């Protein structure tokens, strides 16, 4: 089995209901995402998942010098950021991609799938 990251992409600027047009859409997406999470648990794919606070809450840490340098805000200037993610354990990429499609449908957003490199 291989661990895969399924990263949920979304806009930097969020409205009152996040990336959703209304409170109802947001609640439906949260319910569908909860059901998807339950499926991942039940079928043994679940490793970890979480939603992230807005990119504006990020702190970039550069510890390469003698004294760490800390900067408020995201590292990159971009129109989209990672808003949440799943880490799954799947037997192969085809299964991971199928699960990613279900996760994308549940959260109503585009997702990116990447395998962990296995070096750690």
Q: Residue 114 and residue 82: Cα distance in Å, rounded?
A: 13
Q: Give the model's pLDDT for residue 16.
A: 75
Q: Give the model's pLDDT for residue 80.
A: 81
Domain 2-115 in this protein, CATH class: alpha beta
Task: List phi, psi (to 5°) of 81.
Answer: -135, 170
Percent of the chain with pLDDT over 90: 66
**Domain assignments of the chain as residue spans, ordered by start:** 2-115
The mean pLDDT of the chain is 90
Q: Residue 67's pLDDT band (boundaries 50, 70, 90)?
A: very high
């Amino acid at each position: 089995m291989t661990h895969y990251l399924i990263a949920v992409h979304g806009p930097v600027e969020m409205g009152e209901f996040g990336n959703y047009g209304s409170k109802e859409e947001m609640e439906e997406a949260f319910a569908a995402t909860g059901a998807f999470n339950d499926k991942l648990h039940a079928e043994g794919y679940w490793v970890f998942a979480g939603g992230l606070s807005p990119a504006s809450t990020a702190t970039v840490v550069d510890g390469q010098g003698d004294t760490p340098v800390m900067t408020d805000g995201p590292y990159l200037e971009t129109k989209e950021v990672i808003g949440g993610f799943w880490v799954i354990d799947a037997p192969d990429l085809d299964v991971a991609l199928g699960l990613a499609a279900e996760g994308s449908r549940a959260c109503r957003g585009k997702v990116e799938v990447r395998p962990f490199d296995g070096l750690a």
